[in-house]
Structures are given as structure tokens and as C-alpha cells.
Amino acid sequence: MSALKSREEILAIRKELKASGKNVVFTNGCFDILHAGHVDYLTKAKSSGDVLIIGLNSDASVRRIKGEKRPIVPQEERGFLLSSLKAVDYVTLFEEDTPFEIISALIPDVLIKGADWPLDKIVGRDVVEANGGKVQTIEFVNPSSTTNIIQTIIERYSP
């Protein structure tokens, strides 16, 4: 069974969680090469509610955003790795370039992004706040990034 939940599955799960009074936290990203910065970020995100749902950019979406050479790790593997983390409850793919549609469908109680995003630029903020939810940012304490990891590999192993 796949670690990734379909749009229909995640919406049914969200409905059950809402009925049981659970606070749902949502964040999204490519999570291409999982690193310590991701784990720290997701652990902090989970502390803002009861259940953490990740919207994971599909391979096609990552290519459009990051370029033809990305992702390095295919979506099924990225989903498996993320869903294996202690802080993560559910992972669902989205094909669009932004998570607006999945946020509008889920209407999480808390929407989280990294502090590198100004609040007024966070996609879905309007939807979440209009439905009584809150939007929060998390400071990065670990300087790791997938782009930096890829660059380090290139520099170390290029002839």
C-alpha cells in the first residue's frame, strides 16, 4: 500500500479529523533530498496541531518549478520517506504548481511555511484565515537545502 494518499482519501480523512475535533496542520513542498532541515521543520510544524498533512509536489510540478533535472528522488520515494517520519501523519501529492487547490479543499486549521516566505505571499493564507484558521511561519535553524546538497556533490565529484 502506498504511503501517499489520493486527493479523495485525504479529503475523507480530513472530514473524519474535523468531526473528531482534531487540529490539522498543513505544509507543502518538494522535499526532494530529505535532510536535517526538513526533519526539524516538520517536527516544529507538527507541534502546532494534532495531525500533520504534507502536500507534496508531484514530479511534474517539481520539474516546472525547479527545472528539468529535478526532482532527484521520485515522488513515490519522497512520499514514503516523508510518511516514515515520526512527525508526519499523512502525505498527499498535488500536480499544480502551487498548493492552492489542495489547501482550498482541505481547509486546514493551521497552515505552515518557512520563515523565508512573507505572510502576504503564502499561498492559501486567504482561504485558511477566512475559515478561522491561522497561518504561521517557522524559522530555519539548519542551513541545509537540497540545492546546496546537490551543489556540494557536484563540486566534490566532478572531474
Q: What is the pLDDT of residue 48?
A: 98
Question: How many structural domains does the chain have?
Answer: 1
pLDDT, tens digit, 9 for 90 and up, residues 89-138: 999 999 999 999 999 999 999 999 999 899 999 999 999 999 999 999 99
Q: What is the pLDDT of residue 2?
A: 64
- Buried (b) or exposed (e) across 38-62, using 16+ Cβ within 10 A? bbbbbebbbebbebbbbbbbbbebb
State how far the Cα of 59 lies from the Cα of 74, in Å rounded to an integer. 6
* Number of DSSP helices (H) and strands (E) in the chain, helices first: 7, 6
Residue 145 has pLDDT above 90, yes or no: no
List the CATH number of the domain containing 100: 3.40.50.620
State how far the Cα of 39 lies from the Cα of 103, in Å rounded to an integer. 22
Domain enclosing residue 69, as ranges: 4-157
